[in-house]
Amino acid sequence: MPATRLHLVRHGEVFNPERVLYGRLPGYRLSQAGRAMAGQSADYVAGLDRPVGALICSPLQRTKESAQPFTARFGLAPVVDDRVIEPTNAFEGKRMRLAVLNPLNWRYLMRPSVPSWGEPFTSIAARMRAAMDDLWDETDDADAVIVSHQAPIWITHLSVAGEKLAHNPSTRRCALSSVTSFERHDGVWTEVGYAEPASTGSAVDVGAV
């Protein structure tokens, strides 16, 4: 039997006092509030009262730390999968409001539908779907959890819904430590739920690609 449901979980709040776009830069860990958020997402999944048989995360520090409460809850060691990582971005390490005013950076904004500032949306969707397909087939009659990032999760949502992948990042419905759930039947993915179990009212969320 394959998996029964797959949850894409976004990491918690990141300690980012300089408020830069951190992307794939190393060393960006969860804040104290972010650790609490990650625990709340794990509590939510546990509260569904469904067995969880697999846990993977991206190789970045913030997703590894956000997977820890799932390990504590379900006794699963997270497996790192590079396919669910944050996309590349030309603005890593910069404050976006200042970076877009610099004429030297305007070339990165020429084709937002691709996007021209980083990894193509089609590439992100393909690698996420491949990771999801493999995990679904490898998980035996239980739910599976992938701890990932805002852009990959939202682009997966758009891809599964059959919507255009090009979008304004400010319109994403993918809060910190949110849980977006999917099922696959006859090879077709369907989104079956979205939840924001974490307390994010005072959270700082400016570093997502």
Q: Can you give the pLDDT at residue 192?
A: 98
| Domains (range + CATH), the chain | 5-195 (3.40.50.1240)
Using 70 as the pLDDT threshold, list the residues of the chain that sit under it.
none
Q: Are 37 and 67 in contact (CB under 8 A)?
A: no
What digits encode the pLDDT tens for the residues 15-24?
999 999 999 9
Of 51, 43, 38, 45, the C-alpha closest to 139 is 51
For the entire predicted model, the pTM comes to 0.96
Q: Can you give the pLDDT at residue 201?
A: 86
Tell me the backbone φ, ψ of residue 74, rounded to 5 degrees.
-115, -5
- The CA-based diameter of the chain, rounded to the nearest angstrom, is 55
Q: Can you give the pLDDT at residue 182?
A: 98
Angle between helix 61-74 and helix 32-47 axes, rounded to 10 deg: 40
What digits encode the pLDDT tens for the residues 37-52?
999 999 999 999 999 9
